Structure 1
Amino acid sequence: MKKIKMLILYFLMFLLVFSACSNQSSPNPLDNDSNGSLGVIDGKWVEQKEDTLIFDKEPDFPVINSYLDLTMNDYRALAEQKNVHLIWATGKSISPSKYYGLFNSNRNCLESEVSVSIFVKNMKTGEEVSVLTGDDTSSYHILNWWLDDTRFVFQRDDRDGKRTYGVCTVNGEVTLLESLKDSTIILQHSSSYFISCEYGDEKTISFSKIGTDNHIENIGEFSSDHYIMEAVISSDFRFIALKTRENYETYDRMLEILDSTNGLFYKIEPPITQNASSVSLNTLNWQSTYLRARYHVIYNNEQESVLYEYQF
């Protein structure tokens, strides 16, 4: 009987230890320091060669040289008569499936003098249709922002200076994003996610998502101690890399990483500091799970541009 009680006791102790081990989460590469202030990242800088740079090619596709039974030369002559510069096809953008293309043109709104329209091209049939037509009051601009294969975000600029964002389908169905104000600045977008701030409050950013119903879901609002100039979202939509500055007068630009799951900012020290009189962040982008950053470095009045990859 005594042996049975001992076995039961050992079994219960085993379950207790096993449960405690199971509840321990895997270590996060972004951990807070002991005093709960700005976090510390366990990562390293690796210098990159220039030939390892990856550039996104400008999307391109052929556009028909006629519209509504008139040729491009006919429209060019009409534009000259009205003293307007003809825009036949600019700002091209291709849907993720490459089934649809977008381009700006003013061929159908030459009377408005400065407005442009957004056309959708069906890559399979070749059909080109104006889905957002410019006029005397408004002009429509492509943001190269596809939510999926049939929905894209556009910007409407009114003659009175007001700016409006909206979602349009390739069939011309429009939903205005009314929660985005005229003062809203879109810092970066990726798929249905985007980062924005309000003009005059560049220390606070909003991380949001546009749902399938074209309504905006606010994931979080985060405030930094520094002025935010640029922001890029990681491929898993968790981390946001930020180019910041202490104030409006300083030239130096710093790198911070925001973890959107806990709202913590992590300042990343530059890869080069020794013998440099100035080290300033220039550009940054995500390559898979690594963050690439280009720094402008000054050594004794000599300038150098260096590319590094931060691995964590």
Structure 2
Amino acid sequence: MSMINMKEWCLGIMDCPERTAIPIMTHPGIELCGCTVREAVTDGQVHAEVIRKLNEIYPAAACTVIMDLTVEAEAFGAKVVFEDNEVPNVVGRLVTDVASVKGLQIPSLKEGRISEYLKANKLAAEYIMDKPVFGGCIGPFSLAGRLFDMSEMMMALYMETETIRLLLDKCNRFIISYLRAMKATGVNGVIIAEPAAGLVSNEDCLEFSSAYIAEIVKELQDDNFMIVLHNCGNTGHCTAAMVETKAASLHFGNKIDMVNVLKECPENILLMGNLDPVGILKMATPEKIKKEVLTLLENTSQWRNYVLSTGCDVPPEVPLENIKAFYEALNEYNNKKQSEL
């Protein structure tokens, strides 16, 4: 377990003349370990081995655990479907009205796969000492949508606002207790995935997502634990709401213009993104990937707070030569910049 001062780590990235990369990437490690997605998302030991294997092969500036947005919903009692080599999926609705939301119990950390994820975080933090390890969890608005059904919740925001506020409050209380336990495992921060908050206006994002994320940040972010807020649903319309959370880093999806983001956000927070993980990293040729990465790096070259990343979690079955091309482009860019000095 490494005690890294994350404020200093962020400043180190900003002061470094070379670009760094932190792709949100665990699935290639599952394939390299020869195990299934189902094994990795249900067994903390396997999960940690996957993170260790990836760290041995790829030079990311930090490691990330699997971005699994079903773990917290399952702890509440939602039904989750598992396939051998696909990301787990929540099916059905757990709550439908004010009575069921009032009756919803905030789960203990013994429910579902929470303990396996805490084990994965703890082991990864013990294995990897030379760089930060980021845990992962779902954001309160996205979790509420998984419990209530997203399209139903979009209507209920306006028709049954108090019901949704009560649900969000319960979701947030659980997330805070989970992240307290995650912080105690020794990981250096967490990537909070809040993609559903990109479906609403900046004003509603502020009220129904950022206000709750800000509570999490206030409670948990400190010198040794940083919050990274990921919202791949944001097309640029709710960047201001993301900034309001005071998270130390913001992570953006491939639907957004990264240059506009860098212009709009404070220069003292790390901004990460946003290579398309499916359309480019999985589906394109290595040559196309190199071109896209180099273009992204050139376009963002004037901002010291930019970190190269994928727009979201790298999906299963990305060709390894494509990941190699991603890092080759990063090296090529850094070598070119070095020779210009």
Name the TM-score, length of structure 1 as normaliser: 0.28
Higher CA-based Rg = 1
Name the TM-score, length of structure 2 as normaliser: 0.26
Of the two structures, which has the highest relative contact order with CA contacts closer than 8 Å and spacing of 6 or more? 2
Q: Which structure carries more helix by proportion?
A: 2
